[in-house]
Amino acid sequence: MLSGGTGLVVGKFWPPHRGHQLLLETAAAQVNELLLLVYANPTGPGPTGHGPHSAAMPAAVRADWIRELYRGDELADGPRIGNTPLRVFALSAAADGVPPDDAPDHTHREFVRQWLAARNLTVDVVFSSEAYGPGFAEHLGAAHVAVDVARQRVPISGTQVRENPAAAAPFLHPLVAAQLGVVPPAAVPRVVFLGAESSGKSTLCAALAEACGTAWVPEYGRTLHEQKSGNLAFEDLLYIARRHAELEDEAAAQARGVLFCDTNATTTALYSYYYFHRCQPALQAMAAVCRQRYAHTFVCAPTVPFEQDGWRGPEALRSFQHGAILMQLDFYGIPFTLIEGTVAERVAQVRSQIVI
């Protein structure tokens, strides 16, 4: 086990998958700093079928996804894996002279060596999951650590993802899967509750979880909003959607029969437009796959007494928010059930609509 120094990972990450995450997380656990070079320069035709081509998924986009996967509640220090800083570089043929993918190994090795030298970057150890790793590390004068070369821990490759994203969905993070228009399979059906502020979503989720003996997922956007004293940045909205999806996945392991979710990426995208008048494409993609992600969508009518807890907008906004949510669901073609009444009545309405 190494301890300290600077690590290096190089790859296409086209697109990033769970095997890549295993590689990065294994590397980060063994070094003080991890460098990641993301690049590809394909010369032949793109993948067959409906798989993503590099033109629609350039290195800069892939690098941004990786940065997002490893950012925390604060952006100031950049992405980290645990306590290890992750420095992500997106390289291109135009700006950096990236050699073609089918160039000889020596060409690629020398390209990386010169790129690092030009920036006074020294690498102590190279981590890879490919056969080229030992020779590449030796060319850089670095040690080498192989990670799951046989693909036993995570049986997937970038080629498989590109050729059939839907089949590869179990090996994709929800953020990445959404960009490919697919949804990883769920351990249990997920039921989501949308609604304006103070429309009873959290109360209803908690009551349903207790009544059904299962788990529920609070709205992560509310959690981060309070942590940052209401000072959310534009980039926080994508983070909220990504983190909420992760919390759903974690809660699914404890859920029994069904998982109740307070809010999802559609509402997060709506708030992105509300607060910042724009929305990141990655967040738009996460909102677009919500129809496939949830077995049933309920909308809580804003008919319960309004409770101002210091974090919400004025009560007059509830009607507008409610209408905007309904419009958005129609836009995405997401069927929903409107529920109202007391908590007990709402619990009964939901239970009559779902099968556990």
Confidence (pLDDT) at 198? 83
Q: What is the pLDDT of residue 292?
A: 97
Confidence of residue 78 (pLDDT cuts 50, 70, 90): confident
pLDDT of residue 70: 96
When computed from its CA atoms, the radius of gyration of the chain, rounded to whole angstroms, is 23
Is residue 119, in this structure, part of any structural domain at all? yes
Same domain membership, residue 86 and residue 34:
yes
Same domain? 230 vs 287:
yes
Span 126-178, pLDDT tens digits:
999 999 999 999 999 999 999 999 999 999 999 999 999 999 999 999 999 99
Say if residues 182 and 172 touch (Cβ distance below 8 Å): yes
Residue 47 has pLDDT above 50, yes or no: no
Identify whether residues 168 and 256 lie together within a single domain: no
- From residue 90, alpha-carbon distances to 12, 64, 65, 82, 112 in Å are 10, 9, 11, 22, 13
Q: Same domain, yes or no, for 11 and 147?
A: yes
Average pLDDT, the chain: 92
The position carrying tokens 């109202």 is: 340
What is the structure's pLDDT at 118? 98
What would the pLDDT profile of 266-281 be if each residue is shown by its tens digit?
999 999 999 999 999 9
Q: Are 162 and 61 members of one domain? A: yes
CATH of the domain at 171: 3.40.50.620
pLDDT > 60? residue 283 = yes
> Does the pLDDT value for residue 27 go beyond 50?
yes
C-alpha distances in Å from residue 55, one per residue of 108, 215, 343: 21, 41, 50
Q: Calculate the CA dihedral of residues 310, 319, 306, 316 and round it to 10 degrees.
A: 60
Task: Output phi, psi for 342, to 5 deg.
Answer: -70, 170
- Neighbour-count burial of 42, counting CB atoms closer than 10 A to its CB (0-12 exposed, 13-18 middle, 19+ buried): middle
Residue 48 has pLDDT above 50, yes or no: no
How does residue 44 score in pLDDT terms, banded at 50, 70 and 90?
low
| Among 161-165, 258-262, 352-356, the least confident range | 352-356
Examine the domain organization and report whether 111 and 201 are in the same domain.
no
Last residue of a domain, one of 123, 144, 179: 179
The token pair at 282 is 């990655």
Grade residue 2 by pLDDT with cuts at 50, 70 and 90.
low
User: Given this model, what pLDDT does residue 77 score?
Assistant: 73
Range in 15-24, 43-52, 166-175, 295-304 the model is least confident about: 43-52
Decide which of 160, 179, 198 is a domain's last residue.
Answer: 179
User: CA 171, CA 161: separation in Å to the nearest integer?
Assistant: 9
- Residue 302 corresponds to which tokens in the numbers above? 């804003």
DSSP 169: G
How high is the pLDDT of residue 1? 52
How many domains does one find in the chain? 2
Residue-wise pLDDT tens digits, 299-341: 999 988 667 665 566 667 889 999 999 999 999 999 999 999 9
Residue 144 CA to residue 130 CA, distance in Å, equals 11
End residue of a domain, out of 179, 200, 234: 179
Q: Which domain holds residue 99?
A: 6-179
pLDDT at 158: 94
Q: Fill in the DSSP letter of residue 81.
A: E
